[in-house]
Chains A and B, each alone.
Chain A
């Protein structure tokens, strides 16, 4: 248990396009321990899917420039050959996608697809693989699996298709399951079924899970650690308890305050995040979040913050923010009490030039968004 299952270090994934270089992922690091769950939260275009697809070796296109390192179970994946990647993909690392209809082949019976997934990684007879497929379909709670194994994907409802996808992903006992928005296309009641299923199977099979989602409710229910991504970077990282109880990045605050919740008073106003996510071709200088941040100071437009420990109670808690730690804490305390950013700004004094430790030695330097 000592060595982490997945170590992603300084991963950058850039794509050359006609419009310019898209910096989809721009230097992120995280680790996933065996059997644990990491949540990656972010909006569209934050790089959350690209980073996980790179783990699977799915971004190896001609125009992609990938740097950094991805170590899975002691093996470097970025330099692995395509055939090595093929044996890892679907074997030790499996993925489930948002839309179960487009990720299942419409022409083949689900049984044939499950059998192929099993036989391409294991030297077993068709009959044995079929037994395994039935076993997996039973495990994911598909009713009457012996008969339904000969059905086509369109004969299933959305929730059942997602169960089939999960069965296929887990058929080779993967050590790591990457779930990319697995419940976004589903109704809440079905979402609850699928989340429960993933958690149950994870406990039984001791699979580590990377859960990618934009839904803070989903990560709160199923993950132990959370990485918040913005514009290709991780801007905050910590245990899920910390991220929800004591977040320190203004973007995380924005996310938490802009969703209506069932457990807060109904008339509590929503505080939207102004503006919109930046272009990944032409990122803002300094802190990428500065054009949308209500607490921006002149210096934040020049200095690029690094992801640094917050020094709080949670030792894993890290944040990439140029505000001094004590300022961040008083800002969140006021926001949490129900104040809007405008009210908060009148009360909390933000020093114009004091920067958090992460920026030390950088002030005045020319920093670009690269």
Chain B
């Protein structure tokens, strides 16, 4: 299968690769996918107390499209509010990267990773407040 230029560009120069401390109360961690399915994304968001995403990091086990989708989404959500980040749709990723139908699940995974990271962050906040 031929990859789009944008996928190749993100794959070869992935943005925001790395990890942040999981125990940091301002860091939300989302891990989605499964090794048996061939892709796992770990996405971490550092969120300020007023709900702005200050930093995003990812690590992905998967094909080129999965790596490119996670790289792209970390770029997008940086600077967004939590509520804005929750509106990021997989279809936007599909469009931006020209993903073929067989790779749509990669974009779904990236969307889910953002949601999972935010849910983790909110859970941490709730338990801190209670």
A and B bind? no
Taking Cβ atoms with an 8 Å cutoff, the residues of B that contact A are: none
Taking Cβ atoms with an 8 Å cutoff, the residues of A that contact B are: none
